[in-house]
């Protein structure tokens, strides 16, 4: 009897784990984001526009052929294609981004809290990498060339750098219609209101004057 109860508990635990681990299949063909709705009700996305009002424009974006402007301090520019650009992506769990890099330009260390990213190099060479979680914080990095593909696991800090004297271009696919982005430097040194200099000075083991200088840039 005891073994039967143990087996039943184990079966129930496994069943619950499977239910938690997988999202249910969509119950409709699509859910075009209704960004004008005044309602506050959300189910992992925007409210659905009446499907009878859907048009081809809700599933369309034009512009990935246009180079991004890399005339900025980091020399990198992201052109996103997520639910903000294509309302029809709402609830579908996928998005894209074109990334342009000036010579030696970077996309600074950042995370996507809601998505794994798979990057393909279209032009040039990139040094890419991500850092594993505490306590190891291992850097896993590689130099990629045209046609190469690299994966950044969801939530981990990662970066890209053009390691050539010409332009570089990459295309990223992300496993969320709205992956989010949290650039580490912006979050730490450019928060609003600012994190106290004392906290940051102790965290980075530097003088407060160094923190003040960095915060001024953000």
The helix/strand/coil state of 200 is: helix
Q: Is the distance from CB of 119 to CB of 206 less than 8 angstroms?
A: no
Domain ranges of the chain: 51-180, 181-218
Q: What is the CATH number of domain 51-180?
A: 2.60.120.10
Confidence of residue 39 (pLDDT cuts 50, 70, 90): low
Contact residues for 28 (Cβ-Cβ < 8 A; gap 6+): 48, 51
Residue 2 has pLDDT above 70, yes or no: no
Burial 3-36 (b: 16+ CB within 10 A, else e): eeeeeeeeeeeeeeeeeeeeeeeeeeebbbbbee
Token pair, residue 103, equals 């010579």
Which of 13-17, 53-57, 68-72, 81-85 is least confident?
13-17
Q: Which two tokens stand for residue 30?
A: 């699509």
Least-confidence region, from 13-17, 82-86, 100-104, 111-115: 13-17
Q: Residue 189: pLDDT above 70?
A: yes
Region 134-142 average pLDDT: 97
Distance CA(127)–CA(140), nearest Å, equals: 11
Judged against a pLDDT cut of 50, whether residue 18 lies above it is answered with: no
Question: pTM for the complete prediction?
Answer: 0.83
Q: Which residues contact 199 (CB under 8 A, 6 or more apart)?
A: none
pLDDT in tens, 50-70: 999 999 999 999 999 999 999
Percent of the chain with pLDDT over 90: 78
Position with higher pLDDT, 72 vs 16? 72
Please give the mean pLDDT across all residues of the chain: 88
- When pLDDT is cut at 50, 70 and 90, the band that residue 180 belongs to is very high
């Amino acid at each position: 009897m005891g073994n039967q109860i143990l087996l039943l508990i184990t079966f129930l635990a496994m069943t619950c784990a499977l239910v938690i681990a997988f999202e249910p299949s969509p119950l409709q063909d699509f859910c075009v984001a209704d960004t004008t709705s005044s309602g506050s009700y959300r189910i992992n996305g925007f409210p659905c526009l009446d499907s009878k009002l859907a048009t081809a424009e809700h599933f369309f974006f034009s512009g990935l052929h246009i180079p991004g402007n890399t005339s900025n301090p980091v020399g990198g520019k992201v052109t996103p294609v997520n639910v903000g650009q294509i309302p029809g992506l709402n609830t579908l769990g996928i998005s894209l981004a074109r990334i342009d890099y000036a010579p030696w330009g970077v996309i600074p260390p950042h995370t996507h809290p809601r998505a794994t990213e798979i990057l393909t190099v279209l032009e040039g060479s990139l040094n890419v990498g991500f850092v594993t979680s505490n306590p190891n914080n291992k850097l896993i990095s590689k130099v990629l060339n045209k046609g190469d593909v690299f994966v950044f696991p969801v939530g981990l800090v990662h970066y890209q750098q053009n390691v050539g004297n010409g332009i570089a271009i990459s295309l990223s696919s992300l496993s969320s219609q709205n992956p989010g982005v949290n650039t580490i430097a912006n979050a730490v040194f450019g928060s609003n209101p600012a994190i106290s200099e004392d906290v940051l000075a102790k965290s980075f083991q530097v003088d407060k004057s160094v923190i003040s200088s960095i915060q001024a840039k953000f």
